[in-house]
């Protein structure tokens, strides 16, 4: 075979190889295009992502006031108020009258009238009053104040009577938090925005202490500055005993709310006790007001719900005048700054 034939044969082989390689590449290219189309089909378009997000929102609706109440199933306050009304006949008339006059004291007036958050501890422990089935004369006073305070739209009064919920240890402390949340929701229709999206409903339903407090805290943070929340905790000494560690923890968290700069509303926190509570005594020595019932002059006469209402109405009027004056000063300051 001469050189010409060799070259021709080599050219034919090269052409065949090139043809085969091109065919292989075309087939591979077709395969790759098919793979790309498959991958594209699996990707969601922006519109599809928006649709799926909306779909998720539909399937996982946000909390609302009714759902919170349904999850917690905690409506003890009305029952407690009825029990106290029924049982107060077993208490001493003069001690009931003495308890009512606590609202006329300087400490109570300062606590209530201040436009800033304040806390007050009322103690009646040196010469304890007569109690009956978990209630004391101060319990009756708290039960009297609750509807009066809630009759004014500026106030939200939430109340817990520890001595009426003392049989099941920490379960009762969790019940306290659950009830305070429900009472808030009964008094105000909250707008449960995005900040509530991570609330774990199953933990709320099971009354997990941490989750309950997070929900309570966020509700408090969402309240405007024109609202005053009054928290009445009667017979706090009950939860200072063994088996109620969650109760003490809740008390401490309530106290910390007073200095939380992220909370806009005014908070009035009142603890009462017919026994010394070492942990509370120490905290109120550092800051806050303490009122010893034995230190005030004994009052004569029968107890009178009407007298309590009249005194509180006077406080309402005086406080309203203070609020108006403060608002005027703020408006003047804003104009000056402008």
Full domain range(s) for residue 26: 11-41
Same domain as 150, residue 90: yes
> Looking at the domain assignment, is residue 115 inside a domain?
yes
Within-domain flag for 163 = yes
* Residue 94: both structure tokens together: 């003069």
178 shares its domain with 283: yes
Give the containing element (helix H, strand E) for 304: none
- Mean pLDDT per 10-residue section of the chain, whose length is 338 residues: 62 66 59 50 46 44 83 86 96 96 95 96 94 96 97 96 87 90 93 84 91 95 96 94 86 94 97 92 85 87 93 95 86 66
What total of structural domains would you count in the chain?
A: 2
pLDDT of residue 312: 97
| pLDDT at residue 56, as a whole number | 41
pLDDT on residue 138: 97
CB neighbour list of residue 309: distance below 8 Å, 6 or more residues apart = 148
d(CA 110, CA 145): 16
Virtual CA dihedral for 214, 220, 223, 225, nearest 10 degrees? -140
24 shares a domain with 83: no
What is the structure's pLDDT at 61? 64
Output the pLDDT for position 241.
83
* 121 in a structural domain: yes
Query: What is residue 55's predicted lDDT score, i.e. its pLDDT?
Result: 41
Assess whether 135 and 214 both reside in one domain: yes
Contact 97, 52 (CB under 8 A): no
What is the pLDDT at residue 49? 41
Residues 112 and 198 in one domain: yes
* Same domain, residue pair 133 and 281: yes
29 found inside a domain = yes
Could you tell me if 100 and 224 lie in one domain?
yes
The pLDDT value recorded for residue 66 is: 87
The region, left, alpha or beta by phi > 0 then psi within -120 to 50, assigned to residue 196 is alpha
User: Is 314 among the domain residues?
Assistant: no
Q: Are residues 71 and 26 in the same domain?
A: no
pLDDT computed for residue 169 by the predictor: 77
Whether residues 31 and 102 share a domain: the answer is no
137 found inside a domain:
yes
pTM: 0.79
Q: Is residue 157 part of a domain?
A: yes
Q: In a 10 Å sphere around its CB, with 0-12 CB exposed, 13-18 middle and 19+ buried, how is residue 209 labelled?
A: middle
pLDDT of residue 6: 65
Same-domain pairing of 32 and 75:
no
71 and 36 co-located in one domain: no
Statement to judge: residues 238 and 293 lie in one domain: yes
* 252: in domain: yes
């Amino acid at each position: 075979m001469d050189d010409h034939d060799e070259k021709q044969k080599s050219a034919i082989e090269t052409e065949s190889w090139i043809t085969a390689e091109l065919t292989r590449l075309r087939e591979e290219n077709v395969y790759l295009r098919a793979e790309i189309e498959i991958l594209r089909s699996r990707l969601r378009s922006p519109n599809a992502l928006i649709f799926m997000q909306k779909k998720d929102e539909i399937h996982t609706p946000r909390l609302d006031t009714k759902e919170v109440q349904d999850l917690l199933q905690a409506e003890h306050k009305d029952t407690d108020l009825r029990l106290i009304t029924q049982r107060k006949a077993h208490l001493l008339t003069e001690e009931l009258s003495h308890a009512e006059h606590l609202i006329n004291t300087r400490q109570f007036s300062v606590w209530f009238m201040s436009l800033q958050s304040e806390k007050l501890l009322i103690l009646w422990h040196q010469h304890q009053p007569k109690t009956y089935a978990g209630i004391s004369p101060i319990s009756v006073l708290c039960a009297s104040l609750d509807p009066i305070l809630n009759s004014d739209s500026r106030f939200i009064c939430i109340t817990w009577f520890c001595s009426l919920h003392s049989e099941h240890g920490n379960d009762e402390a969790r019940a306290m938090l659950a009830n305070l949340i429900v009472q808030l929701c009964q008094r105000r229709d909250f707008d449960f925005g995005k900040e509530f999206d991570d609330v774990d409903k199953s933990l709320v339903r099971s009354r997990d202490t941490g989750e309950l407090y997070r929900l309570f805290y966020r509700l408090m943070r969402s309240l405007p500055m024109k609202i005053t929340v009054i928290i009445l905790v009667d017979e706090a000494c009950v939860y200072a005993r063994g088996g109620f560690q969650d109760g003490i923890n809740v008390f401490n968290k309530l106290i910390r709310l007073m200095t939380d700069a992220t909370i806009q509303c005014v908070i009035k926190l009142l603890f009462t006790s017919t026994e010394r509570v070492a942990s509370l005594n120490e905290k109120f020595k550092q800051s806050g007001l303490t009122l010893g019932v034995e230190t005030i002059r004994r009052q004569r006469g029968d107890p009178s719900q009407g007298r309590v209402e009249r005194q509180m109405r006077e406080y309402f009027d005086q406080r309203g005048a203070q609020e108006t004056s403060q608002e005027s000063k703020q408006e003047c300051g804003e104009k000056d700054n402008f």
